Chain A
Amino acid sequence: MKRKISIFRYLILTLILCFWCSDVFAYEVCKYGDKNIKWNASSVTYYINTSGGPSDSLTAIQNGMNTWTNVSSADFTFVYGGTTTSTANGSNDGYNIVTFGGGLGSGTLAVNTTWYSTLTGYIVDSDIKFNTSYTWGTTGSASVYDVQNIGTHEFGHTLCLKDLYSSADSEKTMYGYGAAGETKKRTLDTDDISGIAYLYPASTGGLPTAATLISPSGTITTTTPTYTWNAVSTASYYQLYVNGSGTWYTASAAGCSSGSGTCSITGSALTAGSYTWYVQTYNSYGYGPWSSGMGFTVSNLPPSCPDLYSWNGGGYLNNGSLYTGSHSPEQEYYQERLVTQPVVERNNTLTFMIKEVDDEISHINSVAMYYRNSGNSWAELDLIYAVHNKAGDVRESLRKRDNNRAYTAPGDEILLTYRVPLGGVENAEFKSISSGYYLWSAETWCQILDLGPAITVQPGVIATLLARINNMSAFELPEDARVYFNIQGPGGYSSNNIFSISVELLAPGNPQWYSINWTVPDDAPAGQYYYSASVYIGKKNITWARDAGVQDIPTVSKNKQEGAKAGSSCQ
């Protein structure tokens, strides 16, 4: 839609310009009937006979030709064919000449004689003659008529531009009035340029061609995609259009000022959804065509990862996510994180911290820290301590990639302490290489649908506790998923999360019963017991909290040393 609006604006601008043109008669062209009289060629050759002219007239005449030739928005070239002795001015001989001579009558400075076909309007011959009844010069001297000044005007007639008379046209080469010593007609006005460009427009090669798009396409998982397209050699600007708006960038800003290779722009943030993007080209000739559209979809994004902090002498500064690339549940990657914040040693150690973000539990296989001083290769730092704020020492868990992993729940921190290597780390760079994946995000939940019936138990008897669990997420539960049973009883009896069983691979939407056996202790006091169940991934409780308050109240057992009945609740 926006693209249409842009084109509409362009049309409006064009209309405004056209009105403006007609209002001041920017230029006028020769007509025969409804035909423009013009050359049916992009070049015309002139031969010059300077006999009777001033000494530098050859150069002055060629300068006048080149002035028109050099108009980049037009495709027309005046070719100097050499000198000639011909004086056949006005003859329709297909031999275009510039001469000096008399016989033009009083008052005529120069005359342009142009032959053309009435069938096509195409010019077949055009001669120019300067009247030697007047004094000519080439330096702009006030007392004489300037060859280049009048010559440039006459070559405008060769193109078949007509004289202009409005005072608004006074600075134009095609202005019909002039004066001795005048030189301003040597330089074209923008309307003169528009005139030649109208009659002899630059080939379509003047306008930039359409860009071809490369990426993004398909499904992406970043909200700030980088848009990449092939450079157009003749484009100096690109308009990137996406998500309802377009923005112009210079080729330099897009990294393709050379006109080759690819152009890239990182766009503004998007929300999840489907988009189509386009690129339009532009250069001094005008607007190029729009590219074909390329569609892409921003998918539901993976959760973020724990951040890596570095100690700067006064506190911990965030260097961003420990995992910098895309990641998904149970897909493990080794990824680098360059440390961009200052790292300051203290007590001959270097301190970093991994801090989990608010909506995630991560499973960290390993974290290795590297440094390099200028000119050296990367070397691994020696890890002295890795202290989890809840789990304590996790150094061994992080040292190598095995099944001994460290977990981080929202807000969890792991303090990493490294030994300062020999030679110090002044001006050193640091980076981490870590592996792991996130285990849980806000979309992963399990629901306790049912608990087992009330039972009566005796000390020493095995009681079976049951829970029916529904996986509400989109994935099978990971290997670290377990259901924990919590028993509460009289006299402050509690067995929080002592009993658990794996619920690994529980498929979404397929509720299953899980059970554990509880051997009633011999010293268990008589009374009413309750149990509840909760599902964890790692150390994150993923029980769907809304169910906690709607579970059945357990039946009370009155027997001596009774066992349990259940109610489920969240921890």
Chain B
Amino acid sequence: MIGMGTEELTRESGVIIRGEVAEVKAQWSEDGKTIITRANIVITNIIKGETISNMITVEYEGGEIGEIGLRVSDVSPLNTGEDVILFLNKSAESRIIGDVHNIVGKAQGKYTISKDGIAEKSGFSVIGGESIIDNNISANELIDKINRVK
């Protein structure tokens, strides 16, 4: 992927939230050729944009159904219980029915917040991102950066 800094991620995102991953469920796409995972996020902080409730659904390719699993590079799966900051856009091409959001920049748009409040990224390969991507910074500092962009 092409590396996206916090400013670009913020500008490309309609919604940016902090929340806890409440439920993760994988299902086959409508054409049955791939696995799509949907995760429900309980929002604890809307950093940018608006949502209709305190829960939002995020979708990405990959996941596990029964005895089969799918890994897609540059996708960072969401895990139940994770505290995350997500850069999101409403999905326009969802391959399963429903009103869902995609993560902007694939895994680049996901930060996992550690117990000591550090925002970490993982699960992607980018071109030219080494100098612009914020990683391993405090969640509050990241949110401040986002707010300065808005």
Task: Give the residue of B2, B64, B121 whose beta carbon is less than 8 angstroms from that of A118.
Answer: B64
Against A, the Cβ 8 Å flags (1 = close, 0 = not) of B113-125 are: 0000000011111
- B122 and A163 form a contact (CB under 8 A): yes
Q: Verify B66–A114 contact, CB threshold 8 A.
A: no
Task: Determine how close the nearest CB of chain B comes to the CB of A113; give it in whole angstroms.
Answer: 5
Contact with B along A129-170 (1 / 0, CB 8 A): 000000000000000010000000110010010110100001
Q: Do B126 and A176 have beta carbons less than 8 Å apart?
A: yes
Check A117 against B68 for contact (C-beta < 8 Å). yes
The winner among B2, B72, B73, B126 for most chain A CB atoms within 10 A is B73
Q: A90-B34, A107-B105 are in contact. Are A163 and B68 (CB under 8 A)?
A: no
Indicate if the CB atoms of B127 and A145 lie closer than 8 Å: yes
CB neighbours (8 Å) of B74 from chain A are 108, 111
Q: Give the size category of A's interface with B.
A: 35 or more
Which parts of B58-85 form the interface with A (CB within 8 Å)? 64, 66-74
**In the bound complex, what is the Cα–Cα distance between A338 and B127 (angstroms)?**
75
* Chain A residue at smallest Cβ distance from B71: A114
Tell whether A116 pairs with B69 under 8 Å between CB atoms, given A177-B126, A178-B125, A179-B127.
yes
B4 surroundings in chain A (CB, below 8 A): 107
- A153 lies within 8 A of B125 (CB): yes
- Using known A-B contacts A114-B71, A115-B68, A157-B73, determine if residue A163 contacts B123 with beta carbons closer than 8 Å: yes
Q: Assuming A118-B67, A162-B123, is B128 touching A179 (CB within 8 A)?
A: yes
Q: Which of B64, B125, B130 contacts A109 (CB 8 A)?
A: B125
Contact A111 B33 (CB under 8 A): no
Convert A98-113 into 0s and 1s, putting 1 for each residue whose CB lies closer than 8 angstroms to a CB of B: 0000000111111111
Give the CA-CA distance A91 to B31 in the complex, in Å. 11
A7 close to B (CB within 8 Å): no
B123 cross-chain contacts in A, Cβ below 8 A: 162-163
Q: Least Cβ distance of A90 to chain B in Å?
A: 6
Q: Bound state CA distance, A208 and B67, in angstroms?
A: 39
The total of interchain contacts (Cβ-Cβ below 8 angstroms) comes to 95
B interface residues, how many (CB within 8 angstroms): 31
Q: Is the CB of A119 within 8 A of B125?
A: no
Cβ distance A169 to chain B, nearest Cβ, rounded Å: 11
**In the complex, A32 has a CB within 8 A of chain B:** yes
Q: Is A92 an interface residue (CB 8 A)?
A: yes
**B-chain residues with CB within 8 Å of residue A119 when the two chains form the complex:** 67
Return A309 CB to nearest CB of chain B, in Å: 79
CB–CB B106/A30 < 8 A: no
**How distant is B3 from chain A, measured CB to nearest CB, in Å?**
7
Q: Would A163 and B125 count as touching, CB distance under 8 A?
A: yes
Does A516 have its Cβ within 8 Å of any Cβ on chain B?
A: no
Question: Contact between B127 and A178 (Cβ–Cβ < 8 Å)?
Answer: yes
Contacting pair B70 A180 (CB below 8 A)? no
Q: How far is the CB of A115 from chain B (nearest CB, A)?
A: 5
Asked if A90 contacts B33 (CB within 8 A), the reply is yes
Q: How far is the CB of A160 from chain B (nearest CB, A)?
A: 8
Q: How far is the CA of A307 from the CA of B116 in the complex (A)?
A: 83
Given A32-B64, A91-B33, A108-B74, verify A117-B69 contact (CB < 8 Å). yes
Residue A37 CB within 8 A of the other chain: yes
- Tell whether B1 is near chain A: CB-to-CB under 8 Å: yes
Distance, CA A176 to CA B127, complexed state (A) = 8
Q: Mark A169-210, 1 if CB is under 8 A from B, else 0.
A: 010000011111000000000000000000000000000000
Answer yes or no: B57 CB below 8 A from chain A CBs: no
Q: Which of A91, A92, A109, A112 contacts B1 (CB 8 A)?
A: A109
Q: How far is the CB of B4 from chain A (nearest CB, A)?
A: 7
Q: Is the CB of B69 within 8 A of A115?
A: yes
Q: Which residues of A contact B128 (CB under 8 A)?
A: 177-180
Contacts of B127 in A (CB 8 A): 109, 145, 177-180
Q: Which residues of the partner chain B approach A112 to less than 8 Å between Cβ atoms? A: 71-73
- The complex places the Cα of A37 from the Cα of B69 at a distance, in Å, of 10
Contact A111 B126 (CB under 8 A): no
Do B130 and A177 have beta carbons less than 8 Å apart? yes
Q: Report B-chain residues with C-beta under 8 Å of the C-beta of A107.
A: 1-2, 4, 105-106, 108, 126
Determine the chain A residues whose CB is within 8 A of the CB of B49 once the complex forms.
none
A504 to B129, CA, bound (A): 100
Complex interface: chain B residues within 8 A of A116 (CB): 68-71
| Inter-chain contact B126/A32, CB cutoff 8 Å | no
B27 at the binding interface (Cβ < 8 Å): no
Q: Which of B67, B127, B133 has the most CB of A within 10 A?
A: B127
Query: What sequence of 0s and 1s flags, for each residue 84-128 of chain B, a beta carbon within 8 Å of any chain A beta carbon?
Result: 000000000000000000000110100000000000011111111
B124 touches A113 (CB 8 A): no
Taking a contact as CB atoms under 8 Å apart, the answer to whether A165 and B69 are in contact is: no
Chain A residues, CB < 8 A from B130: 170, 177
Known: A157-B73, A176-B124, A177-B3. A118 touches B68 (CB 8 A): yes
Nearest chain A CB to B118 CB, angstrom units: 13
Q: Are B70 and A109 in contact (CB under 8 A)?
A: no
A378 to B123, CA, bound (A): 81
Chain B residues, CB < 8 A from A124 = 68
Cβ contact within 8 Å between B126 and A178: yes
B135 within 8 A of A: yes
Chain B nearest CB: distance from A104 CB in Å?
9
- Separation of A124 and B124 alpha carbons in the complex (Å): 22
Tell me the minimal C-beta distance from A332 to chain B in angstroms. 83
Q: Is the CB of A165 within 8 A of B68?
A: no
Chain B positions within 8 Å of A108 at CB level: 1, 74, 106
Known contacts A90-B33, A145-B127, A179-B128; A114/B70 CB under 8 A = yes
Q: Closest 4 CB pairs between A and B?
A: A177-B130, A112-B73, A107-B2, A107-B1
6 extra A-B contacts, CB within 8 A, seeds A114-B70, A115-B70, A118-B66: A109-B2, A113-B73, A117-B69, A118-B64, A165-B122, A177-B3
Instruction: Give the interface of B toward A (CB within 8 A).
Output: 1-4, 33-34, 64, 66-74, 105-106, 108, 121-130, 133, 135
6 contacts between A and B (CB under 8 A): A90-B33, A108-B74, A113-B71, A116-B68, A165-B121, A180-B128
